[in-house]
Amino acid sequence: MQKESGTTSDGGADAFAADLLRGHTDTIVLGVLRREDRYGFEIYKAIRDATGGDYEIKEATLYAAYRRLVKDGLVEAYWGDESQGGRRKYYRITDAGRAVYRRNVDAWVVTRRTIDSLLDLKGS
């Protein structure tokens, strides 16, 4: 994508979308998987619905996150036997994944407080 002479302050009206979630994707996925196993597209839809259209974490972003999480041993993948040709790859959170999830939630709380204080959003 290009800037299109983006000096106009309006050019970036919707440009701040999902970059603000950057770095939190893995934690969000772990959060979804915390309760039960889900398959990839299901997680995508769950997040898409939960964000209510405000943000949308793109499929490619999520599948990259799955790959990362599997590589790091935080989730395990297995193919569901839909047997009608459906090929759903399910993900299960591991103990290591739960530990990282808890740690990342703590980190998120700190992050939230940090940004709030930097933006002076205590009670105003």
Partner DNA sequence: GTGTAGTAGTTCATCAGATACAGTACTGGT
Partner DNA sequence: ACCAGTACTGTATCTGATGAACTACTACAC
Going by C-alpha positions, the residue among 80, 78, 65 that lies closest to residue 30 is: 65
- Contact between 64 and a second copy per CB under 8 A: no
Listed ranges 44-52, 59-67, 85-93: which one lies at the site for a second copy (CB under 8 A)? 44-52
Count of residues touching a second copy (by CB under 8 A): 48
Name which of 6 and 86 has its Cβ closer to a second copy: 6
Residues 65, 74, 75, 93: which binds a second copy (CB under 8 A)? Answer: 74
Listed ranges 12-20, 59-67, 80-88: which one lies at the site for a second copy (CB under 8 A)? 12-20
- Contact between 78 and a second copy per CB under 8 A: no
Neighbouring C-beta atoms of residue 34, cutoff 10 Å: 13
User: With contact defined as beta carbons under 8 Å apart, do 86 and 80 qualify?
Assistant: yes
Q: Where are the beta strands (DSSP E) in the chain?
A: 38-39, 75-79, 89-93
Residues 8 and 105: their CA atoms lie apart, in Å, by 37
Residue 16 binding result from DNA, a second copy, none, given CB thresholds of 5 to 8 Å by partner type: a second copy
